[in-house]
Every structure is written in C-alpha cells, then in structure tokens.
Amino acid sequence: MDHHKALKLAHGLYFGGLILLFVAYGFLKDEPLTFSAAMIPVFLGLGGVVAGLVVTLVFVRCPRCGRSLFHSSRIMLSLPHYCPHCGAHL
C-alpha cells in the first residue's frame, strides 16, 4: 500500500474512532456504569483508533528504505517531506 493512501486510511480510522468515542460519551455521561447498546460505539471507537495506529505502523513506510515514518507517540497528521532515516523525498 502506498504510504500516502495508508496515511489517509489511518486518518479515517483515527478520527472516525474519536467521533464514535465522543458519541459514546454523550450516551454514557449520565449513566456511566450501565452496560448497554451505548457501549457499542465505545468498542468501535477504540477499535478504530487502535486500527489507525496499526495501519500507521505497518503501512506508512519509506518507499526507499522501508523504515517506518511513525516516530512519535502522537497521531501522525502529515508525512514529512523527507525520510528521517535515509533522506529520500516523500
């Protein structure tokens, strides 16, 4: 998978997951300890965020040296212009 497409997919998963978590918070803020259908967006949201991280780690790689371009603990919002490992233009 191309690193540009992989980053777009990861963004969809991250931000879709975060939106689902906000929706779940809206349902659960009044009754936080009740397991109900409102827990479904919690699991889907967490799954989306984790899947976004996995896609970033596995597929967002330099096309020349193959090393991961993900090098911090925060959500990767954009690709660097150059690979931090080999200097290839991205």
For residue 25, give the DSSP letter.
H
CA distance 44 to 34: 17
CA distance 58 to 70: 9
Interacting residue with Zn ion among 21, 27, 57, 85 (CB under 5 A): 85
Q: Segment near Zn ion (CB under 5 A), from 33-41, 48-56, 60-68, 71-79?
A: 60-68
Residue 10 Cβ, how far from Zn ion at the closest point, in Å?
18
Total residues at interface with Zn ion (CB under 5 A)? 7
Residue with smaller CB distance to Zn ion, 5 or 22: 5
Interacting residue with Zn ion among 65, 71, 80, 82 (CB under 5 A): 65
* Residue pair 17/49 in contact by the 8 Å Cβ criterion: yes
Residue 9 Cβ, how far from Zn ion at the closest point, in Å?
20
CA distance 76 to 74: 6
